Structure 1
Amino acid sequence: MPAPSRLTASSLHAGYPGEEVLRGVDLTIGAGDPPLGLLGASGAGKTTLLATLSGEHRPSAGRVTWDGRDVAKLRGKDRRRFRAAVRFVSQYAMTIADPRETVRSRLELAAKEARKGGRTHAVSPAELLDSVGLAEHHLPRTMRTLSGGETQRVALATALATRPEILVLDEPMTAVDPTTRSRISATLAATIQRLGIGALIASHDVELLQRLCPQVAFLGEGRLLAQGPLADVLARTEHADIRDLAEAQPVAVQRFR
């Protein structure tokens, strides 16, 4: 049996001309690991970190590896294998090129791609929709008729349909209303666990991360300032970035202390 897939950042530095955003990040996400939350203030570098993990942004120092191979150097078939095994979903993930495309056809296409890559599972389209809080009657709907929140949830279901080994989510539920968000987080977490998917979930929503992630890592000052259960991380108020977040969301934060 092959070893579980691992995505690792080692002494990672990255940024843009004249601005270093990441200053030495070490992080590992493994298939089958419990979901890890990535918390940080707006502008802390969460999106830059995820773009660098995906290979879309090149680090200035350090490196990102997938099962020991440098992600930035993957090409051709190896790159396609990586993109199938490690799925990245952003809040802007779903483009609609064909106005006739339905939710069912989107999920069936993802499942077909998964079968070609040997990544099959017995989860039906209806079960995938249920895991993100959508009913089976959404299957014949065309993608263009969905709301923003529904589109985000179909993007999640599409990623799950390929049964990735690792799932990286960037603000996955920004367009989903708070009541629905709380309802679907438990079923999403159960699906991730049942399929053995490792997950990194970046969000500014502390309540969402509390529901989905046994541990969170806090990104600030270009590095991971703390990692552990959410309550323990939020207690690390010797760091100004953590203290500022705790003061900005006192009601939500108080629940986890």
Structure 2
Amino acid sequence: MSTSTSTPILRASGLAAGYGGADVVHDIDLELTAGGAPVGIVGASGSGKSTIVRALVGTVKPTAGHVTWAGRTVSRIGLRDKKAFRAQVRRVAQEGMGTVDPRWTVDRVVGQALKDARRAGAASGSTVAELLEDVALSRHFAPRAVGTLSGGEKQRVALAAAIATRPAALLLDEPLTAVDPSMRGEVVRRLAETTTQDGTAVLLVSHDLELVERMCPAVHVLANGTFVASGTLSSVLADAEHPAVRELAEAAPQAVQRFA
């Protein structure tokens, strides 16, 4: 099992970012360290959770502060290093495989991720069947066309493709919203085993409090574009001093009761 190192894989310092108008997020400080415990971000819809993820992977450029990957500024990574960055820092978004040709088979999608990993010098040694197993999918899914899969199956294939590169950091943006609740726990358990074994730094962005509680010892609550509370989810919700935290607690009373 990998152990934590002192240098973060990804670090946001004083991050502010938006889409050309007013900043959506501001004053964001965040660190993801190889071998460290997964970090969660929770908040209401529209609070800026996905914007943080996009800034971390470089698809949104900071308007203030900066994001660094292994000490290098993400927005200034040269073309030569882009391939390595994309292999080491993988994002799984809620839409799962929205950009994938629906005629592609699962085998082709995950197999392509394995090829990309080899080209980037990040070969995992895993097979397509093993990666599907890591996300609680049978190997019998390999010949299926993406267009024939359910939303939850697509999300799990997207996860399998992401971990194919044995990434240094895995950014999960509402990754299991379409997965059947009865299967969600098993997917999380297997994913946690894989990322722990590989020492992968994990950021989980989700409105699913039970999912975040299960995966993340450390949680940040995002409201109005900035972190308003941090700590374990149970302690944050128990204190609930900020109105946004109280709204989260009131919106999921059964989950809060289970955390107590």
| Same-fold status (TM-score > 0.5) | yes
**Letter in structure 1 aligned against 2:111:** E
**Letter in structure 1 aligned against 2:182:** T
Cα distance in structure 2, aligned partners of 1:246 and 1:9: 27
Cα distance in structure 2, aligned partners of 1:235 and 1:215: 15
Q: Are positions 1:223 and 2:226 aligned together?
A: yes
* Segment of structure 1 superposing worse, 85-94 or 115-124: 115-124
Are the equivalent residues in 2 in contact too, given 1:226–1:236 (CA < 8 A)? no
Deviation, structure 1 residue 227: 2.0
Cα distance in structure 2, aligned partners of 1:232 and 1:98: 43
Q: Are positions 1:204 and 2:232 aligned together?
A: no
Are the equivalent residues in 1 in contact too, given 2:67–2:74 (CA < 8 A)? yes
Are the equivalent residues in 1 in contact too, given 2:204–2:212 (CA < 8 A)? yes
Are the equivalent residues in 2 in contact too, given 1:5–1:165 (CA < 8 A)? no
User: What is the match of residue 148 of structure 1?
Assistant: 151
Alpha-carbon distance change, 110 to 4 in structure 1, aligned in 2, over 3 angstroms:
farther
Deviation, structure 1 residue 88: 1.0
CA RMSD of aligned residues (A): 1.7
Are the equivalent residues in 2 in contact too, given 1:126–1:135 (CA < 8 A)? yes
Alpha-carbon distance change, 239 to 5 in structure 1, aligned in 2, over 3 angstroms:
closer
User: Could you tell me the TM-score, scaled by structure 1's length?
Assistant: 0.94
Cα distance in structure 1, aligned partners of 2:256 and 2:102: 43
User: What is the match of residue 53 of structure 2?
Assistant: 50
Question: SS state of the match for residue 160, structure 2?
Answer: helix
Cα distance in structure 2, aligned partners of 1:18 and 1:111: 39
* Segment of structure 1 superposing worse, 90-99 or 31-40: 90-99
User: What is the match of residue 100 of structure 2?
Assistant: 96
Are the equivalent residues in 2 in contact too, given 1:216–1:227 (CA < 8 A)? yes
Q: What is the aligned counterpart of 2:10 among 7, 32, 44? A: 7
Alpha-carbon distance change, 102 to 18 in structure 1, aligned in 2, over 3 angstroms:
closer
Superposition pairs of residues 158-177 of structure 1, within 5 angstroms: 158-177=161-180
Superposition pairs of residues 1-257 of structure 1, within 5 angstroms: 6-94=9-97, 95-97=99-101, 99=103, 101-257=104-260
Cα distance in structure 1, aligned partners of 2:102 and 2:114: 18
Gaps of 5+ in 2: none
**Letter in structure 2 aligned against 1:103:** V
Alpha-carbon distance change, 3 to 216 in structure 1, aligned in 2, over 3 angstroms:
closer
Aligned residue pairs: how many? 255
Cα distance in structure 2, aligned partners of 1:66 and 1:159: 18
Cα distance in structure 2, aligned partners of 1:105 and 1:222: 38
Cα distance in structure 2, aligned partners of 1:97 and 1:184: 24
* Segment of structure 1 superposing worse, 75-84 or 193-202: 75-84
Q: What fraction of aligned residue pairs are identical, expressed as a percent? A: 48
